[in-house]
Structure 1
Amino acid sequence: MTTKFNWPIIGHKPIVNYLQAMIGNNTLGHAYLFYGPNGLGKNTLAQYFIKSIYCRSDNSPCDHCAHCRQISKQIHPDIIYLDCQPGKKNVTIEQVREARAKIYRGTFLNSHKIIFIRDAQTLSLAAANGLLKILEEPTAKTIFIFLTPTLKSIPKTILSRVQVIKFLPVAVKKFESYLIKKGLDKNQAYELAHLSQGYPGRVLPFLGHSKLLTEYKYSQQNLLSQMSADLNSRFALVEKLAGQVKSEQSQQNAYQFLAQISSLVRDGLLIKNFCFDKVTHVNLKSELANFSSRYSSSHLAQLLNKIKITGRYLEQNVNLRLALENLVLEF
């Protein structure tokens, strides 16, 4: 009997069809790498993929059998999770050695052995090199699944030994239709779909949490007001972001700030050029129109470039406060 698959995935139809065909035809490869920015559903799709490899139900995954329940709880004996240990920034060579030993011991349930690396960009160089031998000469029924937002930090020696699968943003209209089917009214679905900009994971936390969504919208409106205020107010915002001492939290706050103002400036540029259907913050159209009226289109484009350059400065450990102050001077 042909297996029917139950993968309620938003978008990514070609990827879904390909992976389901691999399972249905019993032609699974030994290594897959899913890449694309966070929020696209890589981990969600990987979970359905893994469950369907093990699940024997006619409607797979069933989420009721022992395999499905164990995978949901991350206690399946034949799945090895290679994640960063608490307090560590990288997956270590010691973890890889432990994983290799488990692989060579064979499976507990006479099925596949899966090594699931959900943040492949955190593999240390030694850990990545330690995986090469197994990737080059995999044992029978061993499958590697790597997830990463970008290929930049993945060694070429790994990339050449895996099937690389790129995840793209979901069409906003498609996501809007999905949200309506989930019971949202058309206005809510329209607003959230545009807010996602094709990255469903960015807005799924707002579903059923109207207070959280209201707080987010207020924070964006407040940020837009601050960036439109006088220089002293903008410098006060930088002081709040940078803090008194350099810290990892300050760095994360700065990256989040850059992402938020980039989105708002982009919206302002789109509104100025009458591209209303591309706007992310549809609830702020009037405020964005007022903001963008202060600048020419070329200046807004320059601001977007300045934000991008500031992000690069932060990656190079340039003084956080100085980098942000130079940026807000441009507004």
Structure 2
Amino acid sequence: MLIGHDKIVQFFATAIKNGTLGHAYCLVGSNQVGKRKLVNFLASQILNTPEERLATNPDYYYLERETDEKTGKLKKEISVKQSRSIRERLQNSSWLGGGQIVIIDEAELINDEAANALLKILEEPPKKAAIFLLTIDDQLLLPTIRSRCQTFYLGLVPDAQIAAGLMTMGADQEIADDIAKISWGRPGRAVEMFLDADKRNEYYIETQRLRNLVNAPFHAKLAALEDLFGKKDDDPMQKRDRWKSVLDIWQMQWRNFLLKNQAGEAANNFSTAQIVEIIDRFKIAQKLMGENINPRLLIEETILKF
């Protein structure tokens, strides 16, 4: 179910109805704010195909990072081979006569060679084809690519709208309101927590863990983190995903502390400048978590800040 972003939905509804759809769009927003859900909703309208069947439509092409066969991990970039595959797809006419849709997820991860290949496609756009770039930050795209796309920024969705969406999915009002408050304005996160109670429990557990960590002696912090690192034989990918999720929760809690400080409601004994520095450290940690760096040392270094 699509929650929020009504003005953007209305814009595209009008463009589809009037036959004025452009050839390239860039949807910008934080993770789980609804970029993928929105673009698949639009694709279903354009291709006249139910969302759950888009993957079977030959005129629908979803491009994302590939998995490295040797390591089993996602590759760090979208390759030039993948970009060129778009041209190959679009060289052919629509199979079903309703146009073609190309979606590039995490477009900020397109490497330079791939970006240049994509630029050539945007400079000579095929007829009856629309390319959607999804990104958390359009400033990470080449300026020449940005200039050829119409950009839409997906903002955070109000809690009331998220709660209403969850109730439509079957949640009772109390649960819907509770989830909306801890979804950070991200419908995807709200739906995930509604469908998976473990995700909701993780939020409350990690929020309490953070409270216990703040201003605690370092040896106590290490003890509080022990179960977070799991056993040696636990799946490495699952552990890394959990660490990223935990860092995300902690970072949002520090954002809440910052908002309270700015409102004159001191949540702890940290100054605004100190909280900003801690949030910046979390951003660095999140970025480095995807690199070949020891996650335990990374998290331990981060908690030294508070």
- Sort the TM-score into its range (normalised by shorter chain): 0.7 to 0.9
State the match for 2:101 in structure 1.
Answer: 114
Query: What's the CA shift string for 1:237-295, capped at 9, x where partnerless?
Result: 5677789x9x988876665444322322343455677789xxxxxxxxxxxx9xx4xx3
Judge which range, 252-261 or 38-47, deviates more: 252-261
Q: Closer, same or farther in 2 for the Cα pair 1:106/1:275, shift >3 Å? A: farther
Q: Of 118, 123, 134, which aligns to 1:131?
A: 118
Q: Summarize the alignment of residues 238-253 of structure 1 with structure 2, pairs less than 5 Å apart.
A: none
Q: Summarize the alignment of residues 63-78 of structure 1 with structure 2, pairs less than 5 Å apart.
A: 67-68=49-50, 72-78=53-59
Q: Closer, same or farther in 2 for the Cα pair 1:163/1:314, shift >3 Å? A: closer
**Counterpart amino acid of residue 278 in structure 2:** K
The gaps in structure 2 that reach 5 residues or longer are 69-74
**Identity %, equivalent residues:** 29
**Counterpart amino acid of residue 33 in structure 1:** C
Q: Closer, same or farther in 2 for the Cα pair 1:178/1:273, shift >3 Å? A: same
Q: Does 1:223 align with 2:210?
A: yes
Question: Displacement of 1:314 after TM fit?
Answer: 6.7
Q: Of 129, 132, 155, which aligns to 1:142?
A: 129
Preserved contact between residue 172 and residue 193 of structure 1 (Cα < 8 Å)? yes
Preserved contact between residue 77 and residue 111 of structure 2 (Cα < 8 Å)? yes
What is the count of residue pairs matched by the alignment?
A: 294
In 2, Cα distance between the equivalents of 1:212 and 1:312? Answer: 24
What secondary structure is seen at the aligned counterpart in 1 of 2:125? coil
Q: Does 1:305 align with 2:286?
A: no
The gaps in structure 1 that reach 5 residues or longer are 1-7, 56-66, 277-288
Query: What's the CA shift string for 1:188-233, capped at 9, x where partnerless?
Result: 2221111012111112122244454234423332332233533212
Q: Closer, same or farther in 2 for the Cα pair 1:24/1:308, shift >3 Å? A: same
What secondary structure is seen at the aligned counterpart in 1 of 2:33? coil
Question: Displacement of 1:78 after TM fit?
Answer: 1.6
Question: Displacement of 1:134 after TM fit?
Answer: 1.8
Question: Displacement of 1:131 after TM fit?
Answer: 1.6
What secondary structure is seen at the aligned counterpart in 2 of 1:197? coil
What secondary structure is seen at the aligned counterpart in 2 of 1:146? strand
In 2, Cα distance between the equivalents of 1:250 and 1:207? Answer: 22
Query: What's the CA shift string for 1:163-193, capped at 9, x where partnerless?
Result: 1111100112222233344443333222111
Preserved contact between residue 242 and residue 251 of structure 1 (Cα < 8 Å)? no
Query: What's the CA shift string for 1:49-98, capped at 9, x where partnerless?
Result: 1111122xxxxxxxxxxx337x6251211222222222133222222223
- Report the RMSD for the aligned CA atoms in angstroms: 3.4
Give the structure with higher Rg (CA).
1
Q: Of 253, 270, 280, which aligns to 1:264?
A: 253
- Per the normalisation by structure 1, the TM-score is 0.75
State the match for 1:104 in structure 2.
Answer: 91
Preserved contact between residue 255 and residue 311 of structure 1 (Cα < 8 Å)? no
State the match for 1:5 in structure 2.
Answer: none
Q: Of 47, 59, 62, which aligns to 1:81?
A: 62
Judge which range, 157-166 or 99-108, deviates more: 99-108
In 2, Cα distance between the equivalents of 1:314 and 1:38? Answer: 13
Preserved contact between residue 78 and residue 111 of structure 2 (Cα < 8 Å)? yes
State the match for 2:82 in structure 1.
Answer: 95
